[in-house]
Structure 1
Amino acid sequence: MSPAASALPITPENAGSSATVTESFLRLLSHVKVENLVAGLSGGVVSTMILHPLDLVKIRFAVTDGLQVRPKYSGIMNCMKSVWHQEGLRGLYQGVTPNILGAGASWGLYFFFYTAIKGYTKEGRQSELSATEHMISAAEAGVLTLFITNPIWVTKTQLVLQYSADRSRKQYKGMVDALAKIYKYEGIPGLYRGFVPGLFGTSHGALQFMAYEELKRDYNKYRNKASDAKLDPLEYIGMAALSKIFAVATTYPYQVVRARLQDQHNNYRGVVDVLRRTWSNEGPVGFYKGMVANLIRVTPACCITFVVYENVSRLLLGVKE
């Protein structure tokens, strides 16, 4: 039930229910901390600014399906060199504005919602949350975050997929121009392309955060310290890298499906059509295109994000060592 339900007229029939919902909502709000939003946003922005070119490479490989309009690349370095020679540094940073905004907002909102939901779930308990509870909290945070940020990701994908040889009507001048044109030609549905596979993608974040929390807790237990004790930067990096690799290996195909749905050069009728055509034309390997570039990008990106988040959040929240 949504928070708005608490505003319904209170009658003898719903008085108890309304009071319960209001109380639960207020308890949830008590766990909301803007510091977590700022810390997550900081981590997302820093990692994206450093690693955006690899994200561009990943998306270009993910949508490679034989269309003549697309350049052909033999590998990651070939793709980066080709873009550099044709478009320079600016070409490697196509789509960086929505990527920074999207990554910053996504990480910030994710940590913001996740820590609030996790705190609410743990309220009044002495025991630690289970792996399943961590996963559910992360999944709920992921759904809320995706709903807010999906239009930014559609914009980023279409900016990244502007090729120098293609001068169609959907050549965008920047993020605002892209948002305006997508809305003009396709309306709200255009801004929410890929939302369904994105919902499946919340399982990626859920698995990652579950693994990260469990690794930290078990490691601190091994050191005979509190489960939320601060780690060294290298230890955070190790935990973040392992959890990210686990999540990527488990859920990567959804990213290919989502990128293809958001691709302005092709028209799919929906998720099932993407699955059918990809399997028919490319086989199982089609669902893993760009995964190597993705791992090379997201693993250090995740490490940077988590290290920045853990340290900034402790600084802002005044957590003692």
Structure 2
Amino acid sequence: MSDASASASKRPVPPAKSWQHFVAGGLGAMCGAIVTSPFDVVKTRLQSSLFREKHSFVARAGPAAYTNFLYNFVETGHIIRDIYREESPRALFKGLGPTLVAAVPARSIIFFTYGNGKPLIANHFNNGQENTWVHLSAAALSGVVTGTVTNPIWVVKTRLQLETSVGGARSALGGSLGAIKSIMRDEGIRGFYKGLSASYLGVTEGTIQWVLYERFKRATSGTELEWLGMMGSAGAAKCIATLITYPHEVIRTRLRQPMVDGVVKYTGLLQTLRLVVAEEGARQLYGGLSAHLLRVIPNAAVMFSIYEAVLRYS
């Protein structure tokens, strides 16, 4: 290896854009979360066993519905309508407070760790060159760090979205504080880390998404369709990653459910997987998928386009 090559492979990660990754990720997450909040509420309820009968439009529509994927999107529309009518429009934004509190720093951490992790890993382990393995390693690192830090906030968000109080009268702050007190009283500190094992399993989704996004966006890089291509790349990468890894979302939601009559039904990753399949069938591992796709695909497109814009023009 030449002196120039050795110097290049050991050059430090430039700090100039570190803060930009943090700010860009948080700004994109905030915009996406607000716009797609109703779909997030529907997704959480469909994933939960507590709402399976109440919100099962497919069950009312008959067995034929199970063979038609479009019925799942119709189901999402019906649930949004029912929540709007029976619980108030504000109920469609239940959990938005904790979502923003979690999503903004979570995405900031993800983009910060990934954006700075790529050159760090490349410089130290791949002679300063980025490739798929560098992207994969940076994505996995960012997922583990973010999941560990933000898990308590996601637990609170899930508990709020599973509430059925008519009118959605409690404020986001009041509801969040109430949920925090309830978890601490009934379950202790460990209650805030329910579903963490499923979150670690879900790191695979973020890893797949980042690797696909990096590959897809190269196709339109430098062309007139570059921005449209980036948005399409973000949405397509998220869609594919979600379809591959979605069951972990259902398992995570079940693990974060509150106790019913003092009993914790779901206690571990494998136990939850076996119980859901035994009681409800493997199909239920994809419960809420339609609402989830309606939320995460536009969310990803908005978030990544804002992220790229901040990096380029700040």
With the shorter chain as reference, the TM-score category is 0.7 to 0.9
**What's 2:241 paired with?**
247
The one-letter code of the counterpart of 2:249 is: Q
CA separation in 2, counterparts of 1:128 and 1:230? 27
Q: Is the 8 A contact 2:18 2:112 kept in 1?
A: yes
Spell out the pairing of 1:253-268 with structure 2 (5 A cutoff).
253-266=247-260, 267=264, 268=266
CA 292–265 in structure 1, closer or farther in 2 if over 3 Å, else same: farther
Q: Quick one: distance in 1 between partners of 2:267 and 2:224?
A: 48
The count of corresponding residues between Structure 1 and Structure 2 is 277
2:54 to 50, 53, 71: 71
Cα offset, 1:237, TM superposition: 1.1
Residue 95 of structure 2 is matched in structure 1 by: 95
What is the letter of the counterpart of residue 289 of structure 2? M
Is the Cα–Cα contact under 8 Å of residues 32 and 112 in structure 1 kept in the other structure? no
- Aligned equivalents of 2:252 and 2:224: distance in 1? 36
Shift of 1:219: 3.9
Residues 181-196 of structure 1 aligned to structure 2 (within 5 Å): 181-196=182-197
User: Do structure 1's residue 163 and structure 2's residue 164 form an aligned pair?
Assistant: yes
Distance 1:41 1:130 in 2: 26
What do the CA deviations read for 1:289-313 (whole angstroms, capped 9, x no partner)?
A: 0111111110001101001111122
Which deviations, in whole Å up to 9, do the C-alpha atoms of 1:141-196 show, x marking residues without a partner?
A: 1100111110110000000000137xxxxxx9421222232123212210001000
Aligned position for 1:42: 27
96-105 or 172-181: which moved more?
A: 172-181
1:128 to 1:231, Cα distance in 2 relative to 1, 3 A: farther
TM-score by structure 1 length?
0.80
2:286 is matched with 288
Once residues 15 and 228 of structure 2 are traced to their aligned partners in structure 1, the CA distance between those partners, rounded to angstroms, is 32
**Is 1:123–2:117 an aligned residue pair?**
no
2:220 and 2:229 in contact (8 A); partners too: no
**Preserved contact between residue 114 and residue 142 of structure 2 (Cα < 8 Å):** yes
Q: Distance in 1 between matches of 2:138 and 2:109?
A: 13
**What CA distance in whole angstroms lies between the structure 2 residues aligned with 1:143 and 1:230?**
36
Distance 1:66 1:45, change over 3 A: closer
Return the letter of the residue paired with 2:150: T
TM-score w.r.t. structure 2 length?
0.82
What secondary structure does 1:123 align onto? Answer: helix
Equivalence map 1:201-280=2 (5 Å): 201-220=202-221, 225=222, 232-266=226-260, 267=264, 268-280=266-278
User: How far apart, CA to CA, are the structure 2 residues paired with 1:88 and 1:28?
Assistant: 50
**Mapped contact 1:52–1:96 kept (Cα < 8 A):** yes
Are 2:87 and 2:164, in contact at CA under 8 Å, matched by a contact in 1? Answer: no
Letter in 1 for 2:243: A
Task: Quote the residue 2:152 is aligned against.
Answer: 151
Larger displacement relative to structure 2 (138-147 or 262-271): 262-271
> How far apart, in 2, do the equivalents of 1:275 and 1:45 lie?
32
Q: Tell me, which stretches of 5 or more residues in structure 2 are unaligned?
A: 1-9, 58-74, 167-172
Structure 1 stretches lacking a partner, 5+ long: 1-23, 166-171, 317-321
Find the residue that maps to 1:164 and give its secondary structure: coil
Secondary structure at 2:270's aligned position in 1?
helix
Cα-to-partner distance string for 1:18-54 (whole Å, 9 max, x where unaligned)? xxxxxx9x95694871111110000000000111000
Which residue of structure 1 aligns with residue 295 of structure 2?
297
Contact persistence 2:234–2:304 (CA under 8 A): yes
Q: Please, which of 37, 61, 85 is the counterpart of residue 52 of structure 1?
A: 37
Contact map agreement 1:197 1:258 (CA 8 A) in 2: yes
Identity of aligned residues (%): 30
Provide the C-alpha distance between the structure 1 equivalents of 2:302 and 2:103, rounded to a whole number of angstroms.
13
